[in-house]
Structure 1
């Protein structure tokens, strides 16, 4: 039963809230949608709302607040405890908050399933069930594939696991999935799904997706459980509602109750910060909340307490280009501030050096390193920035990710190079001998290792003479011989004198990546898994080639201290070819990066992270690099308007991490696979408008750089497309041919296509549907299109 709150308590709870926050806190009855703009204090609203309900006399155990991370749930619980225990009449009383439910969706589902296991819809599920993580899932699915006499080559575990996960998030069990399987591939996955579920049941186990699926099904099908839950939690609050998937939406709806009963459900979120569709989040859940609950009260939190007015003006101008959103104010009461800067740079090195110099100046002016951050769309962009910061003596950390040279695919490629440089490196050899898989089993390797140990010789030397080793199958002998021959192809049988040896460092690195099978391996993973992280592995391998090219361009054994110290005098080989010496120096420089000194915690460090990882954080100074078509927005954004809107939201999230200073950069040339490619500035730069950002063109357009780019592009043979709109203020105004809508055109890379639309002006561009490459938006000035009569 609700009761009146003493005036003193009301004053203390509400005195530091804005009018909009106060309305969100005190609107306790019926469905409520709180549209919380970036930096508007949504956590403060949720915790004060919980405390307000408790002070009204609502029993703590009848309140349920759900979020997405344990950290966020813990922070909410702590804040509520402080609010209640610090303001309670008669002093602190732990009993007044006992029973309060503040946890993640998955934690709540686990609790419900353990409580109602016997009626969850799975008769064999016992309350002490195990929860399988990704590693457990992978092992189980791999075993099922083998039991079904299928091959993981044709049915990769990662792609099967992704398909099963997607199905469960859509509330499809194995039977429903099988019923919808319309082709051979889907029917085979359905068999694996069914076998996987049987294996889970035998082990009395469920996976993380089952937590949501089984809870949603239990609440849907079991009226008794549904009623018990609704009676227990009469007040439901959900944070980050824009990040909910279909299963979480169903769970929330079933816990809330019939919309006609005007249930007390309060959801908090921001459609403009919905950036996780790739992992199942559905922006429709928050956009259509009012359709689900017609009596919902909508409250907009528009005042930002983080950023300056100029930063917010630029971010708001950008996000208003999205169609699928809920319009709301975005403002701040803070006065002053600098407009965000957009700096056009020559290339990625110029970009990184500029940011490094900017941060060093800020540090000299008194801003700690820990108050600065560099954000980027893909992890591959961090490598050059890391090099610049390290060379400039700026401490940095890679947040929520792995430093470039520590990433799996990069470490694999470097291990190959280490064996090329030193075939006696058994540690590197063990990493690559069966990566990718080439039919060299553990038993065969153990046999060879035993012989190498007994003879006290490198493992590679034993492998070279594999024909003389007994106890191996013909298949293993053949696989090992092919592996040795592959290494010898790159080294000229260990002498660098072979006829087919690479002549440059970056050529060697590229050949190793391709001929070892690493590129094909990660291409296959990316194609089958559909995961962005797998696609980024290919970008990282390309970036490694660029790293080698950059080292090669600057390598001078007489001037570079790192190169001079690579080998001791006793290890120097005066007859070693220059390429071998360069390779060894390069590997040494990489090792120094990996073994960088630990950062002084008192000094702090600049944070490097992806835009996705930055959500929820804030920094006084932020730099966003790589504002180019194909990077931000990502090339995948060409596939649909919804994808482009999500990229725009991602840029918005990055911009609103900045508190005082925001710098964004775009380069004219970016090195991809050792080749300098001409880039097109991001369409977002145009969308900022002429009055919200200061654009500074510092790019070097000298003839020398243009000629070097043209030579590089001609040598590449396979440049990656980075096409898209270019801001009018940046275009060179050169005449371009006309292409009427409907005409057929030919592109040197994409082939034949039909012109769908044309936009004129200084940045004239055309949208073309290519027969093989799909729909692309091309800047006509650079597109090299030819009309086919």
Structure 2
């Protein structure tokens, strides 16, 4: 059962009053927006306007009298959260109608809840000033952990072990539970590493990304007071991209939603699409969305099947392919957009030919008036981008590669953020290790190793040992250090303490409030740290172009902090707003810099890969299919549609994972708005060795009447004009490219290799050349006397010409 507030006109068309909340919505969209009470599942196909539905639904709730601080909207990237919040503000106006509304990511919410409630919930080893370890920090700590157990990082690769532990955490298995479930040698060893890693994290006062979810789920499950306080605060829960949630996130959502208020069903609305569930490899559980009605009985289901993005041919092809999956919820995709062009499918000779085809296809799209920024190349793995990059670069075509959070991974930014993290949490040994000698201060590795050893023996953070050294001297620690090292460490600790004094303690860390926070104080602290740490002077001394760029990036960090202050809403922050105060409409302002610093560091640490993609750049975008989710481009080229590539070799014969690979292909296809090119190569090099490829089964699943196929893979004179696509008819450049590929330019030892020539191969013996293709990746078809016909790549064939004269 649910309650609807009737705002639609009697003729069934959405009205455009009420601040435009229903303006331009389709009937299913309007139903989803109008639904206000009880559980709701919105099945949102690609390009169906799901963000519009979520933001309109939030605005509608507020217009119906729901206090904004009772609404919690969760998504997966900061970028999506910011866009959602901006749209809601636009609908409700800037006059404060949305004050207190919480729109954030799962990880950011968990970080704030843990900071607010950690001590109350009595989570072992967790203090409110915990640091969040990013991927690089986790890897560094894991490496030290493995080595500290006298294990080989060769036998126990840190990344692989982290992945195994992450899987356990996503399944809500702590170290003890994992150990109890694994009795083989590998399992016992990983369990031992898991336990040591968690101990090292807590000693450093840190948590990793998975801990944020696991600890929050545990806190909500075990502490009734925290659970009820959160439910009282947030009585309306909305979750975007629900198909990407893992078990821990499902538990958190269920515990927050609870049984509803005063015996009513829980007000949880989830939006997602099982057909776009592509993150199983990192813990996403498709059953969360498939079994939503079981988890929340009485849930209403509304399907959004109309696509507003792509042409009819693209949508029909994608729909036909994804219908082959069995683990899905039925919905029909359709669009009122024009039919559009057929999908261009080209079978290429190799990856170099494939890159040339992509280039010429893009040039054709450019000639039609499409901007470079409206074009993208998608691939299954990053390794496939290199040849395409080379081709675009050599042709002078601007491009960018979306490989994650480039800005916050730059050396100078990592250094500055590490300093800030030590200010926020002096126990953060990983960050302290990074900056204690950056810039160099005359503290040698030998001295640091002695002090680290003292910290390890005493079971305390390194900062405590450094502070003891400053107060009591080296003798009190039982170590010998040079006077220079002691002086340098003393100066370093005094500088850190000065910054910490400026920041002041948070009132939620046991100290009294220190007065009203003044906007600009965080940016001033960031600027001071960059200057007084010596980072600014170090890069100024370099005087190279790259050093100037680093200085500009550090200046941008100050700007980033200032922008964060300007947009920060204390009413939406559970650390600064007690749930009962929020219910009464009162909000505590931030009281000091440290409070803001913790919030800011969470923001920059929890940036996701998709946040770095800027479609507004005037360049072709290259990215993996996983990174492409949620984006759209006028023209898309998908390369590498071959067996063992897409679908990936690891999952090709596993039904569940094969379905996820099909969903990944579906996501790629449905990013294209107007034109789509899909390619496969007859040969592709792996580890430098060309291997014969088989076209992906997904290509065969696209309806033939929606595809224009061009087979250009026959290096021995096959019919390139077979099923020629419209895009290659007038292009002299493409024709010249083909002629160049077909020209028999292959040579051995300076002599031309032509049809009829006799050759000797070290393994196959003597044979006669029947056909040759030149150019990049030249090959020859040779009939050998003893082994028959072989096709060889000349670069690796080690052929010897035989003079028959």
TM-score by length of 1: 0.61
CA contact (8 A) 1:242 1:281 kept: yes
Aligned to 1:282: 285
Distance 1:679 1:150 in 2: 39
**How far does the alpha carbon of each residue in 1:486-530 deviate from its partner, in whole angstroms, 9 at most, with x for none?**
xxxxxxxxxxxxxxxxxxxxxxxxxxxxxxxxxxxxxxxxxxxxx
Aligned to 2:723: none
CA contact (8 A) 2:5 2:36 kept: no
Structure 1 alignment gaps of length 5 or more = 86-91, 408-440, 444-600, 718-789
Aligned to 1:194: 195
The structure 1 residue matched to 2:694, chosen from 672, 680, 683, is 680
Q: Aligned in 2, Cα 1:13/1:342: closer, same or farther, shift over 3 Å?
A: same
TM-aligned CA deviation for residue 442 of structure 1: 9.2
Q: Is 1:75 aligned to residue 74 of structure 2?
A: no
CA contact (8 A) 1:3 1:57 kept: no
Distance 1:603 1:23 in 2: 36
Aligned-residue CA RMSD (Å): 3.2
After superposition, residues 283-432 of structure 1 pair within 5 angstroms as 283-400=286-403
Aligned to 1:97: 98
TM-aligned CA deviation for residue 256 of structure 1: 0.9
TM-aligned CA deviation for residue 8 of structure 1: 6.8
Distance 1:343 1:304 in 2: 26
The structure 1 residue matched to 2:711, chosen from 697, 701, 704, is 697
Distance 1:45 1:602 in 2: 24
Q: SS of the residue aligned with 1:604? A: coil
Aligned to 1:161: 162
TM-aligned CA deviation for residue 228 of structure 1: 1.3
**How far does the alpha carbon of each residue in 1:514-564 deviate from its partner, in whole angstroms, 9 at most, with x for none?**
xxxxxxxxxxxxxxxxxxxxxxxxxxxxxxxxxxxxxxxxxxxxxxxxxxx
Structure 2 alignment gaps of length 5 or more = 9-14, 411-443, 447-614, 718-741, 747-752, 765-805
CA contact (8 A) 2:373 2:616 kept: no
TM-aligned CA deviation for residue 227 of structure 1: 1.3
Distance 2:699 2:665 in 1: 11
Q: SS of the residue aligned with 1:691? A: helix
TM-aligned CA deviation for residue 201 of structure 1: 2.9
Q: SS of the residue aligned with 1:17? A: coil
CA contact (8 A) 2:17 2:23 kept: no
Q: Aligned in 2, Cα 1:119/1:173: closer, same or farther, shift over 3 Å?
A: farther
**How far does the alpha carbon of each residue in 1:140-186 deviate from its partner, in whole angstroms, 9 at most, with x for none?**
33443344344434433323322222221111112212221212332
Q: Is 1:269 aligned to residue 272 of structure 2?
A: yes
Aligned to 1:110: 111
Distance 1:659 1:11 in 2: 30
TM-score by length of 2: 0.60
Q: Aligned in 2, Cα 1:136/1:46: closer, same or farther, shift over 3 Å?
A: same
CA contact (8 A) 1:61 1:100 kept: yes
Q: Aligned in 2, Cα 1:212/1:48: closer, same or farther, shift over 3 Å?
A: same
Q: Is 1:659 aligned to residue 660 of structure 2?
A: no
Larger RCO of the pair (alpha carbons < 8 Å, separation 6+) = 2
Q: Aligned in 2, Cα 1:380/1:357: closer, same or farther, shift over 3 Å?
A: same
Distance 1:607 1:380 in 2: 15
Q: Aligned in 2, Cα 1:224/1:362: closer, same or farther, shift over 3 Å?
A: same
Q: Aligned in 2, Cα 1:125/1:377: closer, same or farther, shift over 3 Å?
A: closer
Aligned to 2:171: 170
Q: SS of the residue aligned with 1:325? A: coil
CA contact (8 A) 2:311 2:673 kept: yes
Q: Aligned in 2, Cα 1:55/1:143: closer, same or farther, shift over 3 Å?
A: same
Aligned to 2:149: 148
Distance 1:168 1:22 in 2: 39
TM-aligned CA deviation for residue 602 of structure 1: 9.9
Q: Is 1:12 aligned to residue 20 of structure 2?
A: yes
CA contact (8 A) 1:2 1:57 kept: no
TM-aligned CA deviation for residue 350 of structure 1: 2.3
The structure 2 residue matched to 1:46, chosen from 54, 57, 61, is 54
Aligned to 1:226: 227
Q: Is 1:133 aligned to residue 147 of structure 2?
A: no
Aligned to 1:23: 31
Distance 1:43 1:15 in 2: 14
Q: Aligned in 2, Cα 1:605/1:133: closer, same or farther, shift over 3 Å?
A: closer
